[in-house]
Amino acid sequence: MARKRGSHADITGPRVRAAALRLFARDGYAAVSMRRIAAEVGVQAGALYLYTPDKQALLFDLMQGHMEDLLAAWGAESQGGDAPARLDRFARFHVRFHLDRPEAVFIAFMELRSLTPGNFAAIAALRGRYEAALEGILREGVAAGAFTVPDTRLAAMALIAMLTGVTTWYREGGRLARAEVEGIYADMARRAVGAG
Amino acid sequence: MARKRGSHADITGPRVRAAALRLFARDGYAAVSMRRIAAEVGVQAGALYLYTPDKQALLFDLMQGHMEDLLAAWGAESQGGDAPARLDRFARFHVRFHLDRPEAVFIAFMELRSLTPGNFAAIAALRGRYEAALEGILREGVAAGAFTVPDTRLAAMALIAMLTGVTTWYREGGRLARAEVEGIYADMARRAVGAG
DNA sequence: GGTTGAACTGAACGGGTGTTCAGATAGCTT
DNA sequence: AAGCTATCTGAACACCCGTTCAGTTCAACC
């Protein structure tokens, strides 16, 4: 047999990435085989190589796309306001963004070690830009006397870890609504840096 | 060939666990082969099965041991004091304990999905007890009017995520000493829950 | 100093891995 | 209606996987 009915690159390509995202998030990059991804898409393993040069590139593209989405989304939302206002927006944005794409977040965090050195460096650089964005807000707040933090780098890492952690326990339809969760995290972040 | 010179179960057993810990933490459970672990110990793959029934049990034992160590260590340190004092001790303890065993922490956090359902439930239960310990402190503090937290469960998860995050960036011999890091994290935790 | 048994080897088992590629087909273009 | 090409199959490649086990060797005991 050969070409399937109604098959199309525009359809299969995204389906390959979606299947890879789901499976990498659930079982981990190393534990997922190309055959498994292909089965999810309803195709033979060889067909995947029409859409990715290899398995590593599939992972890298997912992670890079996620980090670029993250930076672009924050870039669109970050402008204006003083440090406390921007920290509040950052916290809410971070929680919202991460709750919207738990699988991509999970992969971006867990599969760094599955990247080849070159790919790792590229993702680490993108991540560094995001961390620097938060640290910039903290430095600005410290300079303006609005925040009390002995070390802005440490505080930025601590806040990001705290906020990202929401994905480990939050379940849709649970006790708390998204908006409440956003608000509570933003409050904790604000207080953690000593803002009134 | 067969038995090595000076070989002994008392020596090889711990070496197997140490090698597995190191490799699982670095490359991930699924990405590490039994042959790789064996090579690290200086033994053939078959010999590993004198020390573990299978690969899954090797992972489970490492994780269970870590969680039990964690609970026992906190149990020995938790007694006495009011809620703010206990929260301070918890934060410092958590940071210190995690900085002492970054590899075990990494595995306990990352490899939950590599566990069989039964083993997962066992580890999740241990983890739940630890989270409950912190939540207990928070509830006590709220009842005494010392903390302001709208949701103790959320706050407990947020604090643990924040504190555990120290392992992702802290490097020995870096800019900050351990004691400083402990103190800063404890301050952030205290303020995050609205304690004076 | 001979015997025993714990510790380990090395080969094998069936099956899975990422990746390649010649060949087949479905749908678009002309 | 014919031809073309993007899309996909199915088999094969060389290699790695976790696990088992008969056989070998060394250290400790009697």
Place of tokens 């066992």: B122
Residue A34 has pLDDT above 80, yes or no: yes
Distance between CA atoms of residues B158 and A190, nearest Å: 13
A179 touching chain B per CB within 8 A: no
CA→C1' distance for B41 and D21 (Å) = 21
Contact B28 A27 (CB under 8 A): no
pLDDT tens profile A156-174: 999 999 999 999 999 999 9
Contact A158 B114 (CB under 8 A): no
Among A188, A190, A191, A193, most B C-beta atoms within 10 A, so best to mutate, is A188
Give me the residues of A, 155-174, that contact B with CB < 8 A: 155, 157-162, 164-166, 168-169
Question: Range(s) for CATH 1.10.10.60 in chain B?
Answer: 9-52
CA distances from B18 to A91, B50, B70, B132 (A): 39, 15, 18, 30
pTM above 0.75?
yes
pLDDT tens profile B92-126: 999 999 999 999 999 999 999 999 999 999 999 99
- CA-based nearest residue to B55, from B75, B71, B37: B37
DSSP for A74-107 reads HHHH--SS-HHHHHHHHHHHHHHHHHH-HHHHHH
Distance between CA atoms of residues B55 and B130, nearest Å: 26
Q: How many CB atoms lie within 10 A of CB A144?
A: 11
Helix (H) or strand (E) holding A149: none
Estimate the crossing angle of helix A83-100 against helix A102-110, to 10 degrees: 100
CA→C1' distance for B102 and D14 (Å) = 38
pLDDT of res. A5: 60
Q: Which structure tokens are listed for A92?
A: 């809410």
Residues of chain B in contact with residue A28, where contact means CB-CB under 8 angstroms, are 28, 30, 113-114
pLDDT tens profile A104-150: 999 999 999 999 999 999 999 999 999 999 999 999 999 999 999 99
Contact A184 B30 (CB under 8 A): no
Nucleotide nearest to B44 (CA to C1'): C9
Question: CA of B55, closest CA in chain A: separation in Å?
Answer: 14
Residues of chain A in contact with residue B110, where contact means CB-CB under 8 angstroms, are 110
CA→C1' distance for A119 and C20 (Å) = 24
Distance between CA atoms of residues B122 and B57, nearest Å: 13
Confidence grade of residue B68 (pLDDT, cut at 50, 70, 90): very high
Distance between CA atoms of residues A160 and A165, nearest Å: 8
Question: Range(s) for CATH 1.10.357.10 in chain A?
Answer: 56-192
Confidence grade of residue A178 (pLDDT, cut at 50, 70, 90): very high
pLDDT tens profile B10-61: 889 999 999 999 999 999 999 999 999 999 999 999 999 999 999 999 999 9
- CA-based nearest residue to B131, from A168, A191, A182: A168
Fold of A9-52: Arc Repressor Mutant, subunit A (1.10.10)
CATH for B56-192 (1.10.357.10, 1.20.1250.20, 1.20.1530.20, 1.20.1370.20): 1.10.357.10
Q: Which structure tokens are listed for B54?
A: 């299978």
Place of tokens 């590229």: A122
Question: CA of A5, closest CA in chain B: separation in Å?
Answer: 36
Nearest-CB residue to B110 (from A110, A160, A166)? A110
Distance between CA atoms of residues A167 and A195, nearest Å: 25
